Amino acid sequence: MKITIIKSDITKLSVDAIVNAANSSLLGGGGVDGAIHKAAGKQLLEACRALHGCKTGEAKYTAGFNLPAAYVIHTVGPIWHGGNRQEAELLADCYRNSLQIATELNLKSIAFPAISTGVYRFPIELASSIAIETVLAFAEETTSLTEVVFCCFSEQDKLIYGSHMSRQSP
CB neighbours (10 Å) of residue 108? 13
Which amino acid type is present at position 46?
E
Question: Sign of the CA dihedral 31, 133, 127, 50?
Answer: positive
Is 157 catalytic? The answer is no
Catalytic option among 9, 16, 33, 93: 33
Helix (H) or strand (E) holding 36: helix 31-40
Strands in 23-70 per DSSP E:
59-63
Instruction: Give counts: helices (H), strands (E), the chain.
Output: 5, 6
Q: Tell me the catalytic residues.
A: 33
